[in-house]
């Protein structure tokens, strides 16, 4: 089956530093990837839709300058948390849609990244 | 906006029992529904899906039931095993819209 690799799985950083999270589709091409945030014992909240070759679409309330998204190739999207603060600590999850699919039927999730900001 | 919700935050069952996890949705335009399993520290794992033109779909040990009249979705797990312990999310979408996730139900299976 299709695999989405997310790296790193866990990162601890100091307040004020930036952290980059990678999301790769390993055996398929993805023109669209999604970034979610999840707090403990809570559901997944969509942060933004990452579009290959164009700007990401952010959900209401998500700071685009805080959460920089780059989708430079058909197999890689990155989320950079800039000037991280303790309140940015969370579990971040990406998903990727097969480029030949328009629906959510072929949506594959990464394993998530636990970000802890000290 | 409209969202998907769940009735039970935690469900505890004995190994071998059948489990039923429920989900209520409010968007009458939703036409595609998915159940995901999420283990601690991992991403969601697809379990089973159903389109709105169906009311039942079966997989291996799992069945999804859709009642569009009352906007209700359920996941039935037969012969629940300790490995089934996880948080289960329903998700819905309408057309090509992005997925909206429900609040999740934690399933605890005791040996």
For residue A1, what pLDDT is reported?
66
What's the mean per-residue pLDDT of chain A?
93
DSSP state of B99: P
Q: Which two tokens stand for residue A46?
A: 């969509």
Cα separation, A106 vs B46, in Å, equals 10
Element (H, E) at B87: strand B86-93
Average pLDDT of the residues in B34-51: 95
DSSP string for A61-100: T--TTTEEEEEEETTEEEEEE-S--GGG-EEEEEEEE-TT
Least CB–CB distance from B32: residue in A42, A103, A111? A103
Contacts B102 to A, Cβ<8 Å: 43
Contacts A114 to B, Cβ<8 Å: 41
pLDDT in tens, A20-60: 999 999 999 998 999 999 998 889 999 999 989 889 999 99
Q: Which two tokens stand for residue B24?
A: 């209520």
Q: Are strands A32-38 and A90-97 parallel, antiparallel or unpaired?
A: antiparallel
Least CB–CB distance from B42: residue in A105, A108, A111? A111
Q: Which two tokens stand for residue A33?
A: 């990837």
For residue B4, what pLDDT is reported?
53
Average pLDDT of the residues in B75-86: 97
Q: Indicate if the pLDDT at residue B67 is higher than 90.
A: yes
**% of chain A surpassing 90 pLDDT:** 80
Q: Which two tokens stand for residue B30?
A: 């939703």
Instruction: Check A93 against B43: CB less than 8 A apart.
Output: yes
Q: Is the peptide bond before A8 cis (omega within 30 degrees of 0)?
A: yes
Cα separation, A115 vs A9, in Å, equals 9
Q: Which two tokens stand for residue B56?
A: 């039942």
pLDDT in tens, A103-117: 777 789 999 999 999
pLDDT in tens, A54-67: 899 999 999 999 99
Least CB–CB distance from A105: residue in B45, B49, B89? B49
CA of B86: which chain A residue's CA is closest? A41
Taking residue B69's Cβ as centre, other Cβ atoms within 10 Å add up to 7
Cα separation, A10 vs A81, in Å, equals 14
Look at the block and give the residue holding tokens 């012969």.
B79
Contacts A6 to B, Cβ<8 Å: 43
């Amino acid at each position: 089956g299709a695999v989405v690799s997310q790296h790193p799985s866990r990162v601890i950083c100091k307040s004020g530093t930036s952290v980059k999270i990678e999301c790769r589709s390993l055996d398929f091409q993805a023109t669209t990837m999604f970034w979610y945030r999840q707090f403990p014992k809570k559901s997944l909240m969509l942060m933004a839709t990452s579009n290959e070759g164009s700007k990401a679409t952010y959900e209401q309330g998500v700071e685009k300058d805080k959460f920089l998204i780059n989708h430079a190739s058909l197999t890689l999207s990155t989320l950079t948390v800039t000037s991280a603060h303790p309140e940015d600590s969370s579990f971040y999850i990406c998903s990727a849609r097969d480029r030949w699919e328009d629906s959510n039927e072929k949506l594959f999730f990464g394993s998530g990244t636990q970000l802890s900001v000290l | 906006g409209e969202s998907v919700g769940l009735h039970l935050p935690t469900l505890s069952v004995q190994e071998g029992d059948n489990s039923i996890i429920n989900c209520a949705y409010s968007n009458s335009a939703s036409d595609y529904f998915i159940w995901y399993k999420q283990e601690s520290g991992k991403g969601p794992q697809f379990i089973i899906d159903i389109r709105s033109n169906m009311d039942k779909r079966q997989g291996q040990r799992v069945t999804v039931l859709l009642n569009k009249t009352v906007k209700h979705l359920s996941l039935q797990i037969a012969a629940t095993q300790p490995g089934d312990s996880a948080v289960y999310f329903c998700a819905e979408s309408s057309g090509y819209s992005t997925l909206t996730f429900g609040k999740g139900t934690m399933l605890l299976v005791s040996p």
